[in-house]
A and B are shown apart, each in its own frame.
Chain A
Amino acid sequence: GESVGLHLPTLSVQEGDNSIINCAYSNSASDYFIWYKQESGKGPQFIIDIRSNMDKRQGQRVTVLLNKTVKHLSLQIAATQPGDSAVYFCAENSGGSNYKLTFGKGTLLTVNP
């Protein structure tokens, strides 16, 4: 069935370090994945996406890696800043006539100054 889960519910890093947030998915038919950031009291904010025909995609300070063999998705944040503190969600869209996003439970990233 469709499900998206996270390996680590919380992650605490020092300012300036790199952060890696992991996500596992179970639907091999999923062809589109998105990472969202949600700050307290706000709606999810799009960070980066990747299609299933790609293994890696880079944005500004963020990189998403997709390993379809083991159904694993990761978000790497370079030089983590206090403003990066938030809950990060991975989401998958299994495509076809199913347009819904299935979200993971989220990882709380805390950046210590």
Chain B
Amino acid sequence: DSGVTQTPKHLITATGQRVTLRCSPRSGDLSVYWYQQSLDQGLQFLIQYYNGEERAKGNILERFSAQQFPDLHSELNLSSLELGDSALYFCASSPWGAETDTQYFGPGTRLTVL
């Protein structure tokens, strides 16, 4: 158990819908990262937050957005969902968001778009 929690574990929805994925980082970690894992693309970095502020952006679509709240939990919002958005979404956390921080991953949310 990494100490990072994610809810829900599974999510099934229809195209065009909007969903919110939630993540609680390890106790004391200030930085949260979101990743998407699909069979054809592997693990892809989406976005990073540090202490409530966006720090780095990766391959995140405009239909996707995220935020980190004062209690440091984070939410990833996915809208206008398409079939291709079906994937595993992982949250990771690290203490300082520094380049040599180890990132600890949560168990993931499996999103299925029908």
Contact = CB atoms under 8 A, between A and B. Distances in A.
B45 A89 contact: no
Interface in A39-92: 42-46, 49, 51, 89, 91
Contacts of A16: none
Interface residues of B, number: 25
A102 interface: yes
Interface residues of A, number: 26
Given A43-B2, A99-B56, A31 B107 contact: no
A96 B31 CA distance: 16
Given A43-B2, A43-B105, A45-B2, A100 B45 contact: yes
Nearest to B104: A46
A101 B48 CA distance: 10
A32 B2 contact: no
Contacts of A43: 2, 4, 90, 92, 105-108
Given A99-B48, A100-B48, A44 B43 contact: yes
Contacts of B58: 100
Given A31-B99, A44-B90, A93-B100, A102 B107 contact: no
B42 A103 contact: yes
A46 B100 contact: no
A49 B97 CA distance: 16
Contacts of B105: 36, 43-46
Interface of A: 31-32, 34, 36, 42-46, 49, 51, 89, 91, 93, 95-106
Contacts of A44: 43, 90, 92, 105
Contacts of A93: 99-100
Contacts of B48: 99-100
B20 interface: no
